[in-house]
Chain A
């Protein structure tokens, strides 16, 4: 037995079924050892997407996503994917091959100091020096990635360590780390304080972030909100934590959010932030938030509390347990006047759909698409105008809404959707992107074909990098620079080249039939929608 066998056996012990990867000499022993394993390798077309695919899989299955690439450029290409997962606290174990340990530091072919380079984007990293440490390191890595504030863990393994002869495989039963003990249960004194504020509050609001999903606390959030009749707004990462049409759900906050959701936060006297950073994109001037309200900040990572704002009551712990404890407090409260006010805001402030758009109107289109999608369908939005339109118009029923919220990585949707589909093969997966983001990841069409992964893709095509164009419209008086996407391929011919079905929708009259055919089609399918190049999200 060699080190590489220990890696595969460790992954098997962790219940890993799929590894997204790209080989090279330095990771060859690892892939070679996979031959007789139940673990399936999926050959991705560029390394960054291996991390995005693992990210998509992790988010829909709740398991740790795994990717493996070679040393040097393979490893450095992976960094954007690692950083994307880090920004959204997605649990990944990223394995990189490394040059022979006797050559480390001598700048040999395909050597990169990846643990050094990725340091600020990983929760933790290892450079394995002795193959005997592999079982312990993998046990720790999966534990670190999937507990506390989740995140990517990098394991860099020199080729000689992968080839090192070792004794018997013995996987540790538990993790022994004196430096890592994440808090799970919330402090009961703090929870009582929150309950007291809840009893006093006239205009309370819950703001749910991505942490609600990471704690698998959607059910508990709904129980908590329903029990005390508390309105819920969400950050971009928190979309879907409450079904979009739930009577207590108001909308998304932030500088790209719904006006009425922002107004709810602004006018609230008690704001309960859960699993959210209170970052600049979600809250305008976080430093001023405490002027007129009580801020309760719930997060599993103590660092997030007080980093950007307040709080009045810090509450460290896992959202699932904290909601459960809060439900037990049995506070008397009646918020129907406040809820009525918010309902009125939503009714009067919601933008009216424009019916005269000669192109496909992305707002109505996305609404129609998401209404026709399966109830538990997974919708992956990319980055750009398509992301904002998706946030505002996608209706989450029992499914999930995935996007790269923290890092805003273009090209995320295709590989993440692919990973989500591999993680949940029975669920419908739709990726929506612009023609810019699509061209950042379109090499993955080959991966979908090769591995029979069924992803339904929508390109909202405007021939522009729309979000930047919009910024240049508002900030640089329509001086459009490097945003023209002329030279893009004929997407119909491209789909044909890959043997993928193609649908083109040019206006709203064709939308419904197009969507029906799109969702009905077996196998991967690409739908191109022509949208107004001058359309704005604001």
Chain B
């Protein structure tokens, strides 16, 4: 069956190599077509909208589009002294057009974000501009209010020229670009976002640690007990896992309230006085307790599935070779559970860092996290670009953690239990 060139042919006379490649390609296309519907669906409804968030978070076209002539004529202005007549003239015409379209209010809000004091002088300009004569707009505008003769205000307008801005990201870490274009922090008493980021990290870290400390012993017990007992105890882990998050949060609200069961118990054993019941809800304590209980199953399940695969004879071998039970545990058992620890900690930490519902209900003001701030801007202030920017910063953090984890342990080790 060998041809002149020495290639193996199939019965149709096509070289085997070509035929195999063709079959391979066909299989590849077949496999891809199966995945395609879901992939396409997710790309359209999920992945692209995340890209849309990125666009929104840096988008600053509004002012750029409202004052096109002004920014064009400003290109030649060096920003040191008052701009030339040409700039005043084009600003006047841009502004008149906005007044006609009734969009001057939006401009004044936007410019007021950049520098306080624009609102009143724009209002005044709108009133006076009706009686402006043709020519020499610089004099006429400057006569409206003395701030129009202040170069600072013109510089503030110029700063809004670019169509894209990093302002929302800077705001997310309590920084801003000052008049000279330098990036500086806001005053110390207004650094709300940094506190939130740090608190989110702190709570996520300690919740992960608490979950680990609690999950390790019970996962070990579940993995070493005979099947009939461990199955029964497993229900204690799985029932909360399958129960609605809101139900579990509700039960913590009942337990932790001032007249709640936990406080009743403390009073009963004489730990606290009846008239001096501690606040355990609407603060950090509430967030810690509720989040730890809610996320605990996510730590137990990966640990359990790893521990289940460790043969008990290894510990016996360690002990028979002269190690005390503690040494045998530390040198033999513990290193084998590291993939489970990694998976559990990653899962809990990532879930905790983006937690929203529980902190919003039991956290009060001092126990809320960055997600609550994002939701607040989405629903209350409607500053969607800021919410997008904060969301993407959080996402970048999560992906970074995920990447580090993948380098250290490998994502394939994650099991759903």
Whether chain B is bound by chain A comes out as: no
> Which positions in A face B, CB cutoff 8 Å?
none
> Which positions in B face A, CB cutoff 8 Å?
none
